[in-house]
C-alpha cells in the first residue's frame, strides 16, 4: 500500500504542508534561541541579583515592619515552610534549568520553583538546609503570555494551508473538466468547447483539446455522411439487379433466388455499416430496470420451438441507458449464442456491489472459444466462428462494444467453468443504491 498520494492536488497539498511544517519548526527554534532564551536568562539574572542583594544583610534579623515595608515596595515575601505551603508553594513546579542558572550566579545550591497562572510567582530557597522561602512576583509574565506566539503559528499555518488549497483547487478545476470531457469524447460524445481557465499551460492544453475534439467530431460527421452516401449508391444498382432478376424466365428460378439471397445479405451488411458509424447517439437516456428489457426480448424468442432461453435474473437497481441501443446489444448477444453456441442458452443478471455496477450475460452451452481469441472478437470485420462460413460482415460485436462504451460500461466475455461461453457486459451505476438483497 502506497502512503504517498497519487493525484496532483493531494501531492501539492502534502508538499505545501511539509514546507510549512519545516518553516514552523525553524521559526520556533529561531524564536526560542534568539528571543525566549535571552529573556529567561535575563529573568534568571535579575532574580539572582535580587536574592544576592537580600543576603548582603542578614535577613533573619529583619523585623516584621521591615519585612512589610519590603513587601509593599517590591512584593517580595519571606516564609517559613508552613506559611509557604499555604501561600502557594505546593502548587509550584520545580524547574531544574532555572535552579541551575540561579545556583551558578549565587554560588550555592539553590532550589527554584515557579507557580504559573494568574499569579506568576518564583519561589526560592537559598540553600537546602534553609527553612526560609522567598517569593518574588513577576508581573506580566505567565503562560497566557505565550498564547500570542502559539496563535501566530496557528493563524499563519492555517492561512498558508488555506491559500495552498485555494491555489491548487483553482489549478485542478480545469484539469477535472478536461478529464470529464476526454471521457465523453472517448464514448463518442462531443461536449461544448471548454472555457479557457487556469494557468498559461492549462489554457494551452485546453485549447489543443478543444481543437482535437472539434476535429474528431468533424471526422465522425464526415464518416457518417460518407457511409450514408455509399449505402445510397450501392442500393440503387442492387435495386436494378433485383428488378432484372424478376425478368428471368421460370426455368431459371434458382438463379433468381440466389440473386435475391445475395441482395438481402448485401443490404444487411450495408445496414450494419450504417449502424457502426451512427451509434444511435441521438437517443435519450432513461432510468429503467434491465430485467424488464430482457423479459420482453426473451418472450419473443421463446415462441420458436427450436430455441429455448432460461432466465436467471437477480434483483438489480434501475440504471440509466438507451433502451433501443441496449435492446440491440441483447439481440446481438442472443443471436450469436444461438448461431455459434447451442439451441438452449441462459440469460443472467446480477448486481456487483464492489464496482457498483449491473452485469448482464448470455451463456451458451457450446464449445466456447480460446482465451487468446476473445479480444479479437470486438475488432471490426472479425467473426467469432470462421468455420461456420462468411455470413455477415463481422460488425455485430464491434457495434455492441461501441454501444456499451457509450454508456460508460465494459464488455465481458469469458469461458464458463462448466462449459460454454458467457458473453456479457457491465454498466456502472451513477448512484449508490440504498439496499440490495
Per-residue pLDDT of the chain (437 residues; tens, 9 = 90+): 456 666 666 767 777 777 777 777 777 777 777 666 676 677 777 776 666 666 655 555 566 777 677 767 777 777 777 788 877 877 788 777 777 777 776 777 778 887 776 677 878 787 777 777 888 777 654 444 445 666 766 777 777 777 777 777 777 788 888 888 888 787 667 788 888 877 677 788 888 888 888 888 787 777 767 776 777 677 777 777 877 777 778 777 788 788 887 778 777 777 766 665 665 555 678 899 999 999 888 887 766 667 788 999 999 999 988 888 888 889 889 988 888 888 889 999 999 988 899 999 999 998 888 888 887 777 665 555 543 334 444 567 877 888 888 888 899 999 988 889 999 999 988 877 765 55
Put residue 356 in one of left, alpha, beta given phi > 0 → left and psi -120 to 50 → alpha: left
- The DSSP secondary structure of 31-49, one letter per residue, reads HIIIIIHHHHHHHHHHHHH
Q: What is the dihedral of CA 182, 187, 192, 196, to 10 degrees?
A: 0
- The reported pLDDT for the residue numbered 317 is 92
Alpha-carbon torsion (98, 101, 105, 107), positive or negative: positive
Q: What is the pLDDT of residue 142?
A: 47
Predicted confidence at residue 204, as pLDDT, reads 84
* Residues 192, 232: Cα–Cα separation, whole Å: 32
Task: Please measure the distance between the N-terminal and C-terminal CA atoms of the chain and give it in whole angstroms.
Answer: 32
Supply the pLDDT for residue 364: 92
Q: Helices 147-186 & 8-31, crossing angle to 10 degrees?
A: 170
397 alpha-carbon distance from chain centroid: 32
Would you state the pLDDT for residue 427? 93
Contact 309, 298 (CB under 8 A): yes
Enumerate long-range contacts of 33-36, CB under 8 Å, 24 or more apart.
Answer: none
Q: Are 130 and 116 in contact (CB under 8 A)?
A: no
Closest CA to 52 of 64, 44, 41: 44
Tell me the domains of the chain and their CATH numbers. Answer: 8-148 (3.30.450), 187-278 (1.10.287.130), 286-428 (3.30.565.10)
Q: What is the pLDDT of residue 200?
A: 76
pTM score, whole prediction = 0.48
HSE-up of residue 106 (Cα within 13 Å, Cβ side): 27
Question: What does the pLDDT read at residue 389?
Answer: 39
Which secondary-structure segment (H or E) carries 64? helix 64-74
The answer to whether the beta carbons of residues 54 and 110 sit under 8 Å apart is no
List CB contacts of 408: < 8 A, sequence separation 6 or more: 183, 187, 427, 428
Q: For residue 287, how many other CB atoms are within 10 A of its CB?
A: 11
Q: Sort strands 308-313 and 319-321 into parallel, antiparallel or unpaired.
A: unpaired
**8 Å CB contact between 349 and 359:** yes
Amino acid at each position: 500500500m502506497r502512503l504517498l498520494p497519487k493525484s496532483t492536488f493531494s501531492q501539492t497539498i502534502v508538499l505545501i504542508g511539509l514546507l510549512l511544517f519545516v518553516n514552523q519548526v525553524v521559526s520556533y527554534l529561531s524564536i526560542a534561541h534568539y528571543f525566549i532564551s535571552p529573556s529567561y536568562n535575563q529573568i534568571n539574572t535579575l532574580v539572582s541579583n535580587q536574592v544576592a542583594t537580600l543576603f548582603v544583610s542578614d535577613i533573619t534579623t529583619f523585623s516584621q515592619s521591615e519585612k512589610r515595608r519590603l513587601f509593599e515596595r517590591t512584593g517580595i515575601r519571606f516564609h517559613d515552610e508552613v506559611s509557604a505551603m499555604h501561600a502557594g508553594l505546593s502548587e509550584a513546579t520545580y524547574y531544574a534549568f532555572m535552579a541551575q542558572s540561579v545556583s551558578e550566579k549565587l554560588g550555592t545550591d539553590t532550589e527554584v520553583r515557579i507557580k504559573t497562572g494568574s499569579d506568576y510567582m518564583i519561589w526560592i530557597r537559598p540553600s537546602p538546609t534553609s527553612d526560609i522561602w522567598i517569593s518574588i512576583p513577576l508581573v506580566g509574565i505567565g503562560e497566557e503570555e505565550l498564547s500570542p506566539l502559539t496563535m501566530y503559528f496557528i493563524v499563519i499555518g492555517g492561512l498558508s494551508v488555506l491559500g495552498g488549497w485555494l491555489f491548487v483547487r483553482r489549478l485542478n478545476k480545469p484539469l477535472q473538466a478536461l478529464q470529464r470531457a476526454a471521457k465523453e469524447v472517448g464514448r463518442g460524445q462531443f461536449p461544448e468547447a471548454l472555457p479557457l481557465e487556469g494557468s498559461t499551460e492549462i489554457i494551452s492544453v485546453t485549447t489543443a483539446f478543444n481543437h482535437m475534439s472539434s476535429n474528431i467530431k468533424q471526422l465522425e460527421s464526415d464518416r457518417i455522411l460518407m457511409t450514408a452516401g455509399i449505402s445510397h449508391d450501392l442500393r440503387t444498382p442492387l435495386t436494378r439487379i433485383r428488378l432484372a432478376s424478376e425478368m428471368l424466365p421460370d426455368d431459371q428460378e434458382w438463379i433468381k433466388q440466389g440473386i435475391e439471397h445475395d441482395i438481402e445479405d448485401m443490404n444487411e451488411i450495408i445496414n450494419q455499416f450504417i449502424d457502426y458509424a451512427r451509434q444511435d447517439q441521438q437517443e435519450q437516456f432513461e432510468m429503467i430496470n434491465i430485467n424488464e428489457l430482457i423479459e420482453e426480448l426473451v418472450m419473443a424468442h421463446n415462441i420458436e420451438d427450436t430455441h429455448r432461453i432460461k432466465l436467471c435474473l437477480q434483483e438489480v437497481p434501475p440504471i440509466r441507458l438507451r433502451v433501443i441501443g441496449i435492446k440491440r446489444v441483447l439481440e446481438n448477444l442472443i443471436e450469436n449464442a444461438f448461431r455459434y453456441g447451442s439451441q438452449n442458452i441462459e440469460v443472467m443478471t446480477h448486481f456487483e456491489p464492489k464496482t457498483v455496477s449491473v452485469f448482464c450475460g448470455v451463456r451458451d452451452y457450446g464449445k466456447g472459444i480460446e482465451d487468446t481469441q476473445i479480444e479479437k472478437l470486438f475488432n471490426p470485420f472479425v467473426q467469432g466462428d470462421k468455420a461456420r462460413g462468411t455470413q455477415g460482415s463481422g460488425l455485430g460485436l464491434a457495434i455492441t462494444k461501441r454501444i456499451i462504451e457509450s454508456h460508460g460500461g465494459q464488455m465481458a466475455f469469458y469461458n464458463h467453468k462448466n462449459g460454454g461461453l458467457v458473453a456479457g457486459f457491465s454498466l456502472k451505476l451513477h448512484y449508490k443504491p440504498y439496499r440490495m438483497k
